[in-house]
């Protein structure tokens, strides 16, 4: 981590309320989204105290755009949360920056070429069917858990080149949930909790079990020469003699990236559709009109504009990542502010996307705000980040979301169970709906399993 090479910028206001030693960690721990949204009032760039670490919160849309796109070579992807992700994934792409990030991205890029990803629609639909055909009319489900299971089955099949059992998904989620909770807790506490033996042992146990779970699939892949057209096989084309540890780290990175945020986004989408019957009706009409009795395929995507509007609006109102970080590696100008090398910056996409000057009625779920015939120019929107650190799986995520929305929407309607219509946001490393439970109701008396089972 670079050390500051100049005095901190003198013209940056400080957000009030910091306490000795812990700084702003209190509100960051208990209501981080509200705190970051309120902090925007103190200027385009404002200083907050992440414990004893000064962090410069960038709230202006043009400055965030400049940081991510115009001058992204001036910043490393670093920070108090990202620096700890390696504890979860190992030394994979999500925790890398600079030259190492570029090297690792070159290994994974072939697996995320758009033409290859478009062939995955059938795979994703089949894995979705494995879960939703087991639903019973009137069954109460945890939609985030169900979406996580589907996303895990789809992502792992593409990573390892063969289907995995539901037991894999059911074992993976609690391990990931525990590690994410621990990492978020460590990052928002002034004490170095990793030095407390009980916490260290508990986290190490989850990490060891996760490595064993993913490692067993990696080793099965390496023993089977018939597993092709998958993430690991494309990596082998680039490096025929890979380090098994790196394969495990990249598999963990892709698996986490392809499951955690997709599951929360889909859970929020079903939640919003249950509150907005007109939007749900329009989605069902689009699905029925475009698909009829045919299974979803990549060729259908251009004919599903409203489905894409729903994805956009869900990612705006319920963006899964509550804060991101960058760090300057040289003296850098950001707007009128000069930042020394080693300066830690943060930006919050949920706070940006709830700015009423950019998005009228920002707390209202309104997919039509994204329609191309709107008179106002579209505000900045980069839900998968931008620049050299843009999520490598952004196209994969879009295909997965569209496939699952249409496949589930073809068959089922989801309604809140009594007492679960009001849902709170729970921010760990990502933002989740808290205690969301929904009841599934078939849209058709007999689901057309034949139409949805083929490739």
- Residue numbers in the known binding site for heme are 391
Question: Quick one: 123 exposed, middle or buried, by C-beta within 10 A (0-12, 13-18, 19+)?
Answer: middle
Long-range contacts of 231-235 (CB under 8 A, 24+ apart): 231/108, 231/111, 231/158, 231/159, 231/160, 232/159, 232/160, 232/161, 233/161, 234/108, 234/110, 234/111, 235/107, 235/108, 235/111
Residue 2 DSSP class: P
291, 410 contact by CB (below 8 A): yes
Query: Beta strand pairing status for 344-347 and 332-334?
Result: unpaired
Beta bridge partners of 307: none
Residue with tokens 């705190």: 35
> What does the alpha-carbon distance between residue 183 and residue 190 come to, in Å, rounded to a whole number?
13
Residue 172 DSSP class: H
Cα–Cα separations (whole angstroms), residue 70 to 65, 75, 76: 7, 11, 14
> Which residue positions form the known binding site?
391
Buried b (16+ CB within 10 A) or exposed e, 84-93: bbbbbbbebb
Closest by alpha carbon to 29, among 231, 197, 185, 212?
A: 185
Residue 295 DSSP class: P
Cα–Cα separations (whole angstroms), residue 400 to 12, 274, 283: 42, 21, 17
> What does the alpha-carbon distance between residue 412 and residue 213 come to, in Å, rounded to a whole number?
32
309, 19 contact by CB (below 8 A): no
């Amino acid at each position: 981590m670079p050390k500051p090479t100049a005095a901190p910028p003198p013209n940056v206001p400080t957000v009030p309320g910091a306490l000795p030693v812990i700084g702003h960690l209190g509100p960051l721990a208990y209501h981080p989204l509200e705190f970051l949204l309120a902090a925007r009032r103190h200027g385009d760039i404002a200083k907050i105290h992440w414990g004893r670490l000064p962090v410069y919160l960038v709230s202006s849309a043009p400055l965030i755009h400049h940081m991510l796109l115009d001058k992204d070579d001036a910043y490393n992807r670093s920070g108090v949360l990202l620096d700890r992700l390696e504890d979860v994934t190992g030394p994979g792409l999500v925790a890398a920056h600079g030259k190492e990030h570029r090297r690792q991205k070159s290994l994974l890029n072939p697996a995320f070429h758009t033409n290859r990803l478009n062939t995955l629609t059938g795979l994703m639909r089949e894995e979705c069917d494995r879960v939703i055909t087991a639903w019973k009319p009137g069954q109460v489900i945890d939609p985030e858990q169900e979406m996580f299971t589907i996303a895990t089955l789809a992502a792992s099949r593409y990573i390892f080149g063969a289907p995995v059992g539901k037991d894999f998904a059911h074992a993976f989620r609690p391990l990931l949930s525990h590690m994410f909770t621990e990492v978020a807790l460590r990052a928002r506490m002034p004490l170095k909790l990793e030095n407390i033996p009980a916490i260290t042992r508990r986290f190490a146990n989850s990490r060891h079990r996760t490595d064993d779970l993913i490692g067993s699939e990696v080793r099965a892949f390496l023993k089977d020469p018939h597993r092709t057209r998958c993430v690991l096989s494309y990596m082998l084309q680039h490096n025929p003699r890979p380090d098994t540890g790196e394969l495990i780290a990249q598999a963990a990175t892709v698996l986490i990236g392809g499951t955690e945020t997709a599951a929360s986004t889909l859970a929020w989408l079903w939640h919003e559709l249950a509150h907005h019957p007109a939007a749900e009706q329009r989605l069902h009409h689009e699905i029925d009109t475009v698909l009829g009795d045919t299974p979803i395929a990549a060729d259908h995507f251009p004919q599903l504009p409203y489905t894409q509007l729903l994805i956009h609006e869900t990612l705006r109102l319920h963006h899964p990542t509550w804060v991101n970080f960058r760090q300057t590696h040289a003296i850098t100008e950001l707007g009128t502010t000069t930042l020394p090398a080693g300066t830690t910056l943060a930006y919050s996409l949920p706070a940006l996307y709830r700015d009423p000057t950019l998005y009228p009625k920002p707390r209202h779920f309104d997919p039509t705000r994204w329609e191309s015939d709107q008179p106002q120019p579209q505000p900045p929107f980069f839900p998968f980040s931008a620049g050299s650190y843009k999520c490598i799986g952004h196209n994969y995520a879009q295909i997965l979301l569209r496939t699952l929305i249409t496949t589930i929407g073809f068959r089922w309607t989801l309604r809140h169970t009594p007492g679960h219509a009001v849902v709170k946001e729970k921010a760990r490393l990502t933002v989740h709906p808290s205690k969301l439970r929904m009841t599934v109701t078939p849209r058709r008396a007999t689901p057309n399993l034949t139409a949805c089972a083929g490739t």
